Amino acid sequence: MMRFLPRDRMLWLAAPALLYLAFFYAMPLIYLLGRSVIGPNGPTLSLFASFFADEYNWRVIGNTLRIALLVTLVSLIIGYPVALALARARGLVQVMLLTAIILPLSVGVVVKAFAWQIVLRRDGTIAKLLVATGIWDEPQRLLFTEPGLVIGAANVFLPFMILPIYSVVKLIDPRLSEAGATLGASPFYRFRKIILPLTMPGLISGMAFVFSLSVSMFVIPSLLMGDRFQTLATLTGRSFLLMRNEALGSATAVVLLVLAVSIVVGSTILSRRIGRTA
């Protein structure tokens, strides 16, 4: 006789969410996947063969990965110190910082992208600032350039980097760093050997969040880069919405899906392994 342990029974708590996802999310996804591998004469991979044969599509994959990596990197560099500061902040300062990080999430991404259009223009805030400080000789346009896209996207996704790191950092006993100091470790050595390894699970989940968000973003590159620059997500959108090419759209969607899933699964495994040895 099998008996259920309380822990096993707890797993049923996930059942409603699983059913919901299976019905409304997995089924359309399977349909999409089917569209990409079933041709008029039965199962075929010809769609992918022709997709990968086109050099333009490789450039699209390159664009997608490059932008996603840069956005993740910029969010990490800006977000990590913020998360450390947030965990050490107390009282009103902490509340204000948290509000400043979470509140922008309530502003729609379309609104934010339009706002960034204004900021990145030739006569926008950034150009004016850089000219005024003498870094630029004359105003330049950041809008419709890759740096502009990275800056804008990193801003939108920053909370998804900060919050997972913050939730890990605030659990770290501040005495650990003090103990390191009394053992003769310099602040940098303490950061490298204590803070960094202990925050690694948070770093990995933050990076997984931002990477999967930026690998699949659609609105931000559409508004900040325009049509000449395509990523897998914008190409998927164009295929379905503009070109009415459902076959191409299915193929790009599946490539994007495989990329995103492998990144998320890979980082989860990595963070679990680090969590075990850490």
Partner 1 sequence: MNPAPFLDIRKASKDFGSGPVLDGVDLAVTRGEFISLLGPSGCGKTTLLRIIAGLAAADGGSVTLDGQEISRLPPHRRDVGVVFQNYALFPHLTVAENIAFGLRAKGAPAAEIAATVERFLTLIHMAAFADRSVRALSGGQQQRVAVARALATKPKLLLLDEPFSALDRKLRETMQIDLRRLLRELGTTAIFVTHDQDEALIMSDRIAVMNRGQIEQLDTPEAIYARPATPFALEFVGLSTRIAGTVTGYDPDGFVMVETALGAIRGRGRFEVGSPVLLGVRPERIRFGTEGGANVAAPVLTDIVFQGARIQAHFASPDQRPVMIETSGALPAGLAPGIPVTISFAVEDTIAYPLAAA
149-178 binders of partner 1 (CB under 8 A): 173, 175-176, 178
What single string gives the DSSP state of each residue in 97-111?
HHHHHHGGGGS-HHH
CB of 8 to partner 1, least distance (A): 25
Q: Tokens 């400080």 — which residue?
A: 133
Pick from 194, 219, 257, 264 the residue near partner 1 by CB under 8 A.
Answer: 194
d(CA 7, CA 88): 35
CB of 198 to partner 1, least distance (A): 6
173-192 binders of partner 1 (CB under 8 A): 173, 175-176, 178-187, 189
CB of 256 to partner 1, least distance (A): 35
Alpha-carbon dihedral 16, 18, 23, 27, rounded to 10 degrees? 180
CB of 184 to partner 1, least distance (A): 5
CB of 177 to partner 1, least distance (A): 9
Where does this chain touch partner 1 (CB under 8 A) — which range of 11-19, 104-112, 145-153, 193-201? Answer: 193-201
- Strand segments, DSSP code E, in the chain are 38-39, 42-43
Strand, helix or coil at 150?
helix
Query: Does position 93 bind partner 1 by CB under 8 A?
Result: no
Query: Does position 270 bind partner 1 by CB under 8 A?
Result: no
Strand, helix or coil at 39?
strand
Name which of 110 and 179 has its Cβ closer to partner 1.
179
CB of 80 to partner 1, least distance (A): 18
Strand, helix or coil at 43?
strand
Nearest CA to 199 among 95, 80, 98? 80
CB of 268 to partner 1, least distance (A): 19
Name which of 37 and 185 has its Cβ closer to partner 1.
185
Name which of 106 and 182 has its Cβ closer to partner 1.
182
How many residues of this chain bind partner 1 (CB under 8 A)?
A: 20
Query: Does position 198 bind partner 1 by CB under 8 A?
Result: yes
Name which of 95 and 179 has its Cβ closer to partner 1.
179
- The two structure tokens encoding residue 12: 């049923």
Q: What is the 3-state secondary structure (H, E, C) of 175-227?
A: HHHHHHHHCCCCHHHHHHHHHHHHHHHHHHHHHHHHHHHHHCCCHHHHHHHCC
d(CA 255, CA 76): 26
CB of 273 to partner 1, least distance (A): 13
Pick from 41, 106, 133, 277 the residue near partner 1 by CB under 8 A.
Answer: 277
- The CB-based long-range contact list for 58-64 (8 Å cut-off, 24+ gap) reads 60/230, 60/231, 60/232, 60/235, 60/252, 61/232, 61/255, 61/259, 63/229, 63/230, 63/231, 64/215, 64/231, 64/232, 64/233, 64/256, 64/259
Contact residues: partner 1, CB under 8 A: 173, 175-176, 178-187, 189, 193-194, 197-198, 277-278
